C-alpha cells in the first residue's frame, strides 16, 4: 500500500508479506512463487541453505540486491546454538537483520521461550536486529520487545499445520500491547488466514508451507499477496460494529405505503 510502509528496525518495506524459501519442488518454482507474492523479505534457514553462493545457489534465483534475506535459526534447540548460527550469517554476508527461532520440542515444533529470550538478549547486545519467533503469549511477546527485538512473531498455529489463527484474542492482545511490529508466523493455511491476521492489526504475515504445498504454488502466492493487502486495508478502514440483531440498510422513514385495495 502506497504511503503505508512496514518499518522494521532501521528498514522500510512496501510489502507486508514475508515468505520462506523451503519445501518447493525446485528453485524455479520457488522463484516464480516468491515473485508472485510481491514480497521483499525472504527467510533462509542457515542449517539447510548456504548463503555463501556457488553453483546453482539460492542467490542465482533470488537476487540479494532485490530481496532482503532474513537468515533464521530454524532447527536450533538452545540459545547458544541459535546465536552461533546467526553469527555465521553475519560472517557469510554481513546480514544483521535476523529471525531468531529456538525450538523446544521436535514433534510440535513449539518455541522454547526461555531460550529464545536468552538468545535475544545476546544477539541484541551484539548489534543484531532481531525478529523473534515465539508462541502466542502476550507476556512473552512483551518481554521480547523489552529485550530489544525489532519485531515479534507469534505463531498462529503449529509450524506447517495450516490450521490458521487458533487464538485470535491472544494475537489481538499482543498487537494492542506492542510498540514494535507484530507479524504472525507459522500456521497460515490459506488466504483467509492471512487476511484475518491483518484484520486483527498485525503488521505483517510470514508464511512458507501454505504456498509451497499448494496445488498451484504460484496462484496461491498471488492470493496471499492480495489477502494481506485486503486485510490491511480492512483494518485501517475500521470494521462495522457487530450486532445481535438485524439493522436495515435503508431507513424506514419516508417509505411509500402500499396503496389500499380497491373496494
Q: What are the residue numbers of the active site?
A: 99
- Evaluate whether 178 touches 142 at the Cβ level (below 8 Å): yes
How far is C-alpha 164 from the geometric centre of its chain's CA atoms? 12
- Evaluate whether 181 touches 8 at the Cβ level (below 8 Å): yes
Closest CA to 56 of 94, 77, 32, 26: 26
Number of residues that this document lists for the chain: 263
Q: How far apart are CA 2 and CA 42, in angstroms?
A: 21
With cell 532474513, the residue in question is: 70
Largest CA distance in the chain: 95
Radius of gyration from C-alpha coordinates of the chain? 21
Q: How far apart are CA 182 and CA 172, in angstroms?
A: 10
Q: How far apart are CA 242 and CA 116, in angstroms?
A: 38
Helices (H), 38-112: 79-93
Helices (H), the chain: 27-37, 79-93, 113-125, 138-146, 168-177, 191-199, 209-212, 217-237
Q: How far apart are CA 151 and CA 170, in angstroms?
A: 17
Amino acid at each position: 500500500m502506497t504511503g503505508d510502509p512496514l518499518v522494521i528496525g532501521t528498514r522500510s518495506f512496501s510489502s507486508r508479506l514475508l515468505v520462506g524459501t523451503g519445501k518447493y519442488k525446485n528453485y524455479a518454482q520457488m522463484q516464480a512463487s516468491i515473485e508472485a507474492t510481491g514480497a521483499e523479505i525472504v527467510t533462509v534457514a542457515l542449517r539447510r541453505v548456504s548463503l555463501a553462493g556457488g553453483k546453482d545457489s539460492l542467490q542465482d534465483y533470488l537476487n540479494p540486491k532485490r530481496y532482503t534475506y532474513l537468515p533464521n535459526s530454524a532447527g536450533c534447540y538452545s540459545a547458544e546454538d541459535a546465536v552461533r548460527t546467526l553469527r555465521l550469517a553475519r560472517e557469510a554476508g554481513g546480514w544483521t537483520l535476523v529471525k531468531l527461532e529456538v525450538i523446544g520440542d521436535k514433534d510440535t515444533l513449539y518455541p522454547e521461550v526461555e531460550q529464545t529470550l536468552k538468545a535475544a538478549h545476546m544477539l541484541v547486545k551484539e548489534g543484531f536486529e532481531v525478529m523473534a519467533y515465539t508462541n502466542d503469549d502476550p507476556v512473552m511477546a512483551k518481554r521480547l520487545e523489552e529485550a530489544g527485538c525489532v519485531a515479534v512473531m507469534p505463531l498462529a498455529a503449529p509450524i506447517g499445520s495450516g490450521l490458521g489463527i487458533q487464538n485470535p484474542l491472544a494475537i489481538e492482545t499482543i498487537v494492542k500491547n506492542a510498540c514494535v511490529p507484530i507479524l504472525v508466523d507459522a500456521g497460515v493455511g490459506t488466504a483467509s488466514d492471512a487476511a484475518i491476521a491483518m484484520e486483527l492489526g498485525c503488521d505483517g504475515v510470514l508464511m512458507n508451507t501454505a504456498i509451497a504445498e499448494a496445488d498451484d504454488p504460484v496462484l496461491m502466492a498471488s492470493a496471499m499477496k492480495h489477502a494481506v493487502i485486503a486485510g490491511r486495508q480492512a483494518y485501517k478502514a475500521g470494521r462495522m460494529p457487530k450486532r445481535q440483531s438485524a439493522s436495515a440498510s435503508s431507513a424506514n422513514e419516508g417509505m411509500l405505503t402500499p396503496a389500499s385495495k380497491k373496494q
